[in-house]
Chain A
Amino acid sequence: MKRVILLGLLALGAVMVLLPFLWMVSVSLKPQEEIFTASARLVPRAPTLANYWQALTQTSIPRYLLNGVIVTGGILVLQVLVSVPCAYALAHRDFRGRGLLFAAILAALLAPFHVTAIPIFLGLARLGWLNSYAALILPFTATAFGLFLLRQAFGRIPGELIDAARVDGLSEMAIAWRIAFPLAMPTVIAFAIFSVTAHWNDLFWPMIATTDPQLATPPRGILFFRDAESGDNPGPLMAGAVLITAPLVLAFLLSQRRFTQGLANTGLKG
């Protein structure tokens, strides 16, 4: 009996958590006249894929999705390219300023992106780089969090293994990429999940760095789309919202354990 009550309460909570998702899918499947009836129903009477067809063919949603892939992909590639050699040097090489660099990384962890936004905006404006993919991607090259995470992972690789690679004649750059990087793959994946989730979902910086709808990332784009339609056309809007949410939600459902650990261990939230 106790177990039934427990299960019931948890299921009720789960339904409340799911409600916005269900409603989003429900509205996206309804024909316009059904959306605009006063008696709202969760289950569509006459489900149709017309809204999805409209969102994909007559709106800029595909463009936003493409921008999302370009921007999150660009950020991730740049972050990994810059961080892996540095994290390797921090973990397995001795050099002047190593302690200082590590202290700087710890300090940089404290500054959320909001704090640096105004000066970076001013700098990009001076260079004439606003409204470009570069403006959306470049400011995230420096990732204190990625550097920290990778350094910890590389530090767990035995020094003998690195020395053996040196004896075999591998260059330091080659050791970083061909020995350390593959061995730290679980950490790299956890960081990739964190980075892609944060930047796919980010609204703050795209709202600042770009005004051109052609450059809008998915969250920015959905606002352009909503404001242009001014609420007259919720069906395609909801279909667009589903399309934009789907990639990360599907990735989460397919690799739940990695995803929850990746996000929970990283302090990413909201």
Chain B
Amino acid sequence: MNRRESLTNLVLAGPAALALVLFIFLPVAVVFVLAFTDYQIGAPGMGWVGLDNFSKLFGSRLGRNAILNTLTYVAIVIPASVGLGLLVALGLHALARSLPRIAAILKAVYFLPVAATLVAMAVSWQMLLHPSLGLVNGWASALGLPAPLWLSDRSLVLYTLAGIGVWQTVGYNMVLFLAGLAAIQPALYDAAEVDGASRGWSRFWLVTWPMLGPTTLFVLVVTAASAFRVFETVATLTKGGPAFASDTIVYALYREGFVYFKAGYASAITVVFFIALLLLTALQVWVVERKVHYR
């Protein structure tokens, strides 16, 4: 290969390669180093502290609280948003045969939160859930129901945020499930009918559910990964409060790193967050592999 050819390759691929190193690989390496230091942003120097940051994260009440809150949030959002996504997709798939236009409109409505700006929608949720001016408690008291403090009750706030998380992700899962449903060959249902499975339930358990298996696993992992990253609603609605009742991993990393400038500790949180996501991704790759073999 002559010099001119090499120069051409460098001009074509060089800038992107440089950007990858500068903005992804170098920062990831640095964050793994910083995680073992006590570096404070703006401080003149830093010292090695070994695993101190990690033992602080897992050993302190605040650190464990952020991890536990995140896991609780994930544990609510995954089944709710995957289950509802599947139900809506099944409903719309059935409706599309008789009322295609209405099904298309409903599909757009369910997907709307995925495209909308979450921070603006969170501000609207705040007004909707406002104790005295909001619609939800207005309706609740009209029906004689108690009017909870959705965002300032410590025992409730995490569930409220999880509810908003479900609201936001159902449409996305629905789209993935609809794609999965569209890929099921009608011949399979005919075969099931020959075997005597003509009723809705048996059709679902014999054909639809097994055929959706790979899609479901994929949706589960993608939903878990996105739920782990919850940040916008926490930052907008609660700032982790009241009394850290809605503190989460990514919000803790933001607070420790960019409000308190504890770069070392925040880096350790980042590393834990990253490793958790990598494990999830490994699971996802494994799932996709299986999906390929499945076909």
**Do A222 and B257 contact each other (CB < 8 Å), given the known contacts A17-B170, A269-B114?**
no
**B175 in contact (CB, < 8 A):** yes
Q: Which of B13-21, B64-72, B185-193, B206-214 contacts A (4 or more CB under 8 A)?
A: B13-21
Interface string of A1-43 (1 = CB under 8 A from B): 0010011011101101111110110010000000110111010
Interface string of A222-266 (1 = CB under 8 A from B): 110010000000100110111011001101110010011001100
Q: Which of A45-53, A106-114, A182-190 contacts B (4 or more CB under 8 A)?
A: A106-114
The reply to whether A142 and B128 form a contact with Cβ atoms under 8 Å apart is no
**Do A122 and B263 contact each other (CB < 8 Å), given the known contacts A21-B116, A112-B277, A245-B120?**
yes
Alpha-carbon distance between A122 and B262 when the two chains are bound, in angstroms: 12
Task: Count contacts between A and B, CB distance < 8 Å.
Answer: 272
**A161 in contact (CB, < 8 A):** no
In the bound complex, residues from chain B placing their C-beta under 8 Å from that of A244 are 117, 120
In the bound complex, residues from chain A placing their C-beta under 8 Å from that of B27 are 115-120, 123
Alpha-carbon distance between A256 and B281 when the two chains are bound, in angstroms: 28
**B278 in contact (CB, < 8 A):** yes
Q: Which 4 A-B pairs have the closest CB atoms?
A: A86-B16, A219-B119, A116-B27, A142-B19
What are 16 contact pairs spanning A and B, CB under 8 A?
A7-B95, A19-B128, A19-B135, A83-B16, A93-B8, A114-B270, A115-B273, A118-B34, A119-B31, A122-B41, A141-B19, A200-B117, A244-B117, A263-B114, A263-B115, A269-B223
B positions within 8 Å CB-CB of A:
1, 5-6, 8-9, 11-13, 15-17, 19-20, 22-28, 30-31, 34, 41, 84, 88, 91-92, 94-95, 98-99, 102, 106, 108-121, 123-125, 127-128, 132-135, 138, 165, 167-172, 175-176, 179, 222-223, 226-227, 229-232, 235-236, 250, 253-254, 257-258, 263, 266-267, 270, 273-274, 277-278, 281
